A and B are shown apart, each in its own frame.
Chain A
Amino acid sequence: MGLLIKGAKVIDVKQNISDYLDVFVKKGKIVDIKKSISAPKTTKVLEAKGKILTAGLIDMHTHLREPGREDEETFFTASKAALKGGFTSLVAMANTEPPADNQGVIEFVYSESKKQSPVNIFCIGAVTMSLKGENLADLADLKGAGAVAFSDDGHCIKDSHIARRAFEYAKMLNRVIISHCEDTDLSAGACVNECWTSTKLGFRGIPAQSESIMVARDIQLAKLTGARVHFAHVSCRESVDLIREAKKEKIAVTCETCPHYFTFSDEVVNTFNTNFKVKPPLRSLQDIKAIKRGLADGTIDCIVTDHAPHTEAEKDVEFEYAPFGMIGLQTALGISIRELVKTKVLTLEDLIKKFTVAPAIILNLKKGSLEIGSDADITIFEPETKWTFTKKDIESKSKNSPFIGEELIGRVSEVIIGGKLFLKRGQIRSYHLPA
């Protein structure tokens, strides 16, 4: 039967394509991309004039809360948010309850997510048992069950000896370790960046060095072991500088940042809005500049959401008691275009690379491009549309977004996964998933 998408500007970074082309999809795969495709009359045609068409976006850092915290989010609700945000693949972190430190949980994530979500969901395995940083998990088993990477995200592996052994082991299994860098002695008891705002408000602050000290350590360990290390949620200029130098030395490190680290500075905490409470914390204006420079010069490989749902009851408490984290699947593209493309920090092509090719390479996923024969995971969006994100728009079960009320630029219009259309004109189409 097939689906023909006409009139869009196709951007595919892997193939160096940025042009007005038609795209033909059949049996779940990309069959052809060229100017003016003529297709048999039985083909469905999707008009995409004025829109951008790219490979489906990949978010390689999300917390989907299943198993254990289905009150915060489920694969079903997360997938709805992902569709509206233009994401066709999500990578789920291991700090669930119970954590993904054994085969059983990983198999559960894969089988359960397939029942609830049309969006591809990949699972990350824990590095250590219960994420305690003490004993390595059965990493080979986790790989066998489908873990695409290992991470104790949410926690930092404090013991350098254990971190070293974990890196060596992961290298043996050809899997990247995603490192959450936090010196917990420096960050203990604190919940905001150490800055004028924290001094003024009487908060204990988390200095940037809490992150950069661990980044430095892990770079040295990556050098020592030859392992591939990916730094999660980079937030400060010290980390960006260290990673830039490490890459110059050809140490196998990569890293990511999140939209909030190039949008909000630490002063927003003056409002006591707990949706701004996140770890690592929002940093200073100079750090925002450094993050943007890091994105522009390639030091920062990809952009992720670190989607972290928390229920309203959990967040609606005193600032110091609220859990850390914000949701971000629906707003990532819109805020990134506003803060990076409109300000000429990145071209649209570069931005799309951060959401497609880059995460795919790091995790070795066969996604992120529109090469002929690849899975037809496609995101189509209006690059100039201005829209205001409201609480009512939120598909996630949790509503903890600091972007509520923000005007974003760029709106997702259609999402195709495996050749099937799941989002049309910004609305989720009803679908049945195979049992």
Chain B
Amino acid sequence: MNNWKKKDLLGLEDLTAEEIKLILDTSSVFKEISTRPIKKVPTLRGQTVVSLFFEISTRTRTSFELAAKRLSADVVSIASDSSSTLKGETLKDTARNIEAMKVDAIIVRHSCVGAPHILAKLIEPSVINAGDGAHEHPTQALLDLFTIREKKGRIKGLKVSIIGDIAHSRVARSDIWGLKKMGAEVTVCGPRTLMPPFIENFGVKKTNVLDEALRDADVLIFLRMQLERQTSNLFPSLREYRATFGVDKEKLKIAGKDVLIMHPGPINRGIELSPDIADGKYSVILDQVTNGIAVRMAVLYLLLGREG
């Protein structure tokens, strides 16, 4: 039975392995729809989905929009610079106003940790977290898990290394939750200054030596090095980052056979990873984008079709 019971998708911390598996299994079905000539099913016809983005984003917002549209839902996108929060309206009032328009789901991206969680408790429509501060980005992690499972046939027992600015990454946190729940072995790697304290409490190995993260790895997830970090003295220069933590073909040689190269995007070519790896035979970065739509369709389908 389709056992999805939760009203919202706020993070992978609160999902069980069974719930994650249900989303991944459902996503396979939805992937097929995007290969048809008519990439649409009428399942969510008449349902209204609002995407409320307080942080600028093109790819996640577009991915969610397409997911909703391919399910025949009506979608409205509200981007931060056109939103009334600039006029001083609080987050709660914004959400209540949208709820009053009788919508079925709200997709929220916000720079404050916990913002979607506050909304979920407050309003009836389903709340989907599209990223809250450095906390969680559940659909990104789900599409990462889906891609890994699709390419490797499993997640359990795989050696996965996440490389980059772990401290500020919501993708890293959600990935860690998801991978650990599905039985993978996770290593996080990055400069000491970008590694949050107590990270071992997640059950991951931590290292600031790149080779340790690369050796025999089955999957490498590269995080975007945000160029603004440079000015806040967290690491000296991009040049130094590239030299110590950037990966190219040469360094990749010690990785596992058929290692997967993944990145949530957008890539800084030549910094986190060299162009030949980003475009090379091991890269599944574009598959991640395709799978993103399937996963987001699955999430919308399960949340809006749940019992009760």
**A residues adjacent to B (C-beta < 8 A):** 194-196, 198-203, 205, 272, 313, 316-321
Known: A272-B118, A316-B90, A320-B133. A202 touches B113 (CB 8 A): yes
* B135 at interface, CB cutoff 8 A: yes
Determine which of A195, A317, A319 lies in contact with B113 in the assembled complex, contact meaning CB atoms within 8 Å: A319
Which residues in B have their C-beta under 8 angstroms from that of A319? Answer: 112-114
In the bound complex, CA of A228 to CA of B64 (Å): 61
Distance between A337 CB and nearest chain B CB, rounded to angstroms = 33
**Interchain CB contact under 8 A, A318 and B196:** no
* B109 at interface, CB cutoff 8 A: no
Among B110, B113, B134, the most chain A Cβ lie within 10 Å of the Cβ of B113
Closest to A313 in B: B90
**Segment of B41-49, B197-205, B243-251 in the binding face:** B197-205
Among A198, A202, A203, the most chain B Cβ lie within 10 Å of the Cβ of A202
Determine which of B114, B117, B132, B198 lies in contact with A199 in the assembled complex, contact meaning CB atoms within 8 Å: B198
**Interchain CB contact under 8 A, B198 and A195:** yes
Which residues in A have their C-beta under 8 angstroms from that of B168? Answer: 202
* B59 at interface, CB cutoff 8 A: no
Is chain A's interface secondary structure helix, strand, loop, or mixed overall? loop
Determine which of B91, B134, B170, B201 lies in contact with A317 in the assembled complex, contact meaning CB atoms within 8 Å: B91
Distance between A326 CB and nearest chain B CB, rounded to angstroms = 18
In the bound complex, CA of A117 to CA of B24 (Å): 64
Closest to A322 in B: B112
Size of interface on B: residues with Cβ below 8 Å to A:
26
**B residues adjacent to A (C-beta < 8 A):** 13, 90-92, 110-115, 117-118, 132-136, 168, 170, 173, 196-199, 201-202
Determine which of A199, A201, A203, A316 lies in contact with B201 in the assembled complex, contact meaning CB atoms within 8 Å: A199
In the bound complex, CA of A317 to CA of B113 (Å): 11
**Interchain CB contact under 8 A, A201 and B113:** yes
**Interchain CB contact under 8 A, A202 and B134:** yes
**Interchain CB contact under 8 A, B197 and A194:** yes
**Interchain CB contact under 8 A, B170 and A316:** no
Determine which of B110, B111, B201 lies in contact with A200 in the assembled complex, contact meaning CB atoms within 8 Å: B201
Known: A201-B135, A202-B173. A318 touches B114 (CB 8 A): yes
Which residues in B have their C-beta under 8 angstroms from that of A317? Answer: 90-92
Which residues in B have their C-beta under 8 angstroms from that of A205? Answer: 197
In the bound complex, CA of A320 to CA of B91 (Å): 12
Distance between A82 CB and nearest chain B CB, rounded to angstroms = 31
Among A200, A203, A319, the most chain B Cβ lie within 10 Å of the Cβ of A200
Among A198, A203, A318, A321, the most chain B Cβ lie within 10 Å of the Cβ of A318
Closest to B114 in A: A272
Among A199, A316, A317, the most chain B Cβ lie within 10 Å of the Cβ of A199
**Interchain CB contact under 8 A, A320 and B112:** yes
Which residues in A have their C-beta under 8 angstroms from that of B198? Answer: 195-196, 199
Known: A318-B91, A320-B133. A201 touches B114 (CB 8 A): yes
**Interchain CB contact under 8 A, A200 and B112:** no
Closest to A272 in B: B114
Distance between B107 CB and nearest chain A CB, rounded to angstroms = 17
Q: Given A202-B135, A202-B168, A203-B135, list of 10 further CB < 8 A pairs?
A: A195-B197, A195-B198, A199-B197, A199-B198, A199-B199, A200-B173, A201-B114, A203-B134, A313-B90, A320-B111
Distance between A322 CB and nearest chain B CB, rounded to angstroms = 10
In the bound complex, CA of A194 to CA of B197 (Å): 8
In the bound complex, CA of A201 to CA of B170 (Å): 9
In the assembled complex, 22 residue pairs joining A and B whose CB atoms fall closer than 8 Å, in A order, are: A194-B197, A195-B198, A196-B198, A199-B196, A200-B13, A200-B173, A200-B202, A201-B113, A202-B134, A202-B170, A203-B134, A272-B117, A272-B118, A313-B90, A317-B90, A317-B92, A318-B91, A318-B110, A318-B112, A319-B113, A319-B114, A320-B113
Distance between A373 CB and nearest chain B CB, rounded to angstroms = 55
Distance between A280 CB and nearest chain B CB, rounded to angstroms = 17
Distance between A192 CB and nearest chain B CB, rounded to angstroms = 9
**Interchain CB contact under 8 A, B118 and A318:** yes
Closest to B198 in A: A196
In the bound complex, CA of A199 to CA of B188 (Å): 14
Distance between A402 CB and nearest chain B CB, rounded to angstroms = 16
In the bound complex, CA of A205 to CA of B196 (Å): 9
Which residues in A have their C-beta under 8 angstroms from that of B91? Answer: 317-318
Distance between B171 CB and nearest chain A CB, rounded to angstroms = 11
Distance between A116 CB and nearest chain B CB, rounded to angstroms = 31
**Those 7 A-B pairs whose CB atoms lie nearest each other, nearest first:** A202-B134, A318-B112, A202-B135, A272-B114, A199-B196, A196-B198, A320-B112
In the bound complex, CA of A342 to CA of B118 (Å): 35
In the bound complex, CA of A109 to CA of B281 (Å): 74
